[in-house]
Structure 1
Amino acid sequence: MREIPIVFVGLMGAGKSTVGRLVAAALGREIRDSDDDLAARYGHTAAELAATVGPEVLHERESLVLREALTRRPPQVIGAAASIAEDPAALAALAAAFVVFLDGPPELLARRMLSSAHRPHFQPDLAKMLTEQRARRLPGFQAVADLTVDATRPPEEIAAEVLAAFGAAG
């Protein structure tokens, strides 16, 4: 098995946490998730941080927890915040990882977001917000992705594809 981290990137609601847990379990690795790391470190969810310290500080903290997770040994499976696609330091740090971009239509991802209060809603129209974020973040996601996967598929199928690609790339 390759001794590098696996990092899931994509917009909120793409399934990074769900698929990441499946891949981590299959590989016997620890799972790290940006949302959990933020809450553990700062005592607040991403939504709470966005409301109290603002989006810019939230995104700086999201980049920091990703870069720290990438240095942990043994390597882990990491669900990264979507904002890292706009942070040059985070994108550079991903060079040492196997990066999976989970891509899906903003309308579907917006519906998935409704079930999770910990995610920040920067606009009332979530589909519009995610469409705008996708337009800004797509170049960053594509630049670092070793594998791009359709996030509309069942998580088990996605996990199997990721594990096959990870093994084949090693």
Structure 2
Amino acid sequence: MASRPDITSVTNTASGRSIVLVGMMGVGKSTIGKLLAGKLGLDFVDSDEQIEAAAGMPISEIFDRFGESGFRDGERRVIARLIGEGPKVIATGGGAFINDETRALIKEQCTSVWIDADLDVLVERVSRRNNRPLLVGRNPREVLTELAAKRTPCYSQADIHVRSDSGPHSRTVGQILEALA
């Protein structure tokens, strides 16, 4: 039986640094982030929710009005603000870590965790919601395949890499805690 990581040592390892979760849409960053923050006694924030609050509109409208590049610029600024507010667990949108400036900021000031999952798991999860601008009117499997091909080289630069599967998210949280310890 594997021993459980000592939360004190995990907290000390990450002390002073936010833990930023990166990965494809549907991988479970928000759910895993909430659970992880609870285990570590840190606040949790979802950068997409913070972007919507700052812009006063949903992400889909930001995309419609300003395009993906305008969204990514705002996303970078919001993530920089969140990092500057002190240690927390931050779930980012799927494309955040792809932006060179955002990735450099996260790598320099935080501990980045790439949560990865098989394509079938992602397709099943994203099919539950219809609020993902990059999927509107498109086949989720095709879009996710294209995005994974482009994004995996960037995600692979994260400090920690864990796999999520169709099992409980608490299992992925355990993997992250072990890696942090």
Q: When the two structures are superposed, what TM-score results if normalisation uses the length of structure 2? A: 0.84
Q: Which residue of 1 aligns with 2:28?
A: 15
Q: Which residue of 2 aligns with 1:97?
A: 110
Q: Is residue 5 from structure 1 mapped to residue 12 from structure 2 by the alignment?
A: no
* SS class of match (1:13): coil
The whole-number CA distance in structure 1 between the counterparts of 2:36 and 2:60 is: 26
Match of 2:143 among 129, 142, 148: 129
* SS class of match (2:82): helix
Matching residue's letter, 2:128: S
The whole-number CA distance in structure 2 between the counterparts of 1:40 and 1:140 is: 27
The whole-number CA distance in structure 1 between the counterparts of 2:72 and 2:103 is: 13
Give the deviation of 1:85 after TM superposition: 2.7
1:121-160 deviations in Å (ceiling 9; x for gaps): 25511111111111111111111x2221112142001111
Equivalent pairs counted in the alignment come to: 165
Percent identity, please. Answer: 28
CA RMSD of aligned residues (A): 1.6
Give the deviation of 1:20 after TM superposition: 0.2
1:1-170 equivalent positions in 2, closer than 5 A: 1=11, 2-3=14-15, 4-73=17-86, 75-95=87-107, 96-120=109-133, 121=135, 124-143=138-157, 145-152=158-165, 153-166=167-180, 168=181
Q: Which has more radius of gyration? A: 2
* SS class of match (1:6): strand
Structure 1 segments of 4+ aligned residues over 4 angstroms from their partners: none
Please list every run of 5 or more consecutive structure 1 residues that lacks an aligned counterpart in the other structure: none
The whole-number CA distance in structure 1 between the counterparts of 2:125 and 2:63 is: 19
The whole-number CA distance in structure 1 between the counterparts of 2:59 and 2:156 is: 24
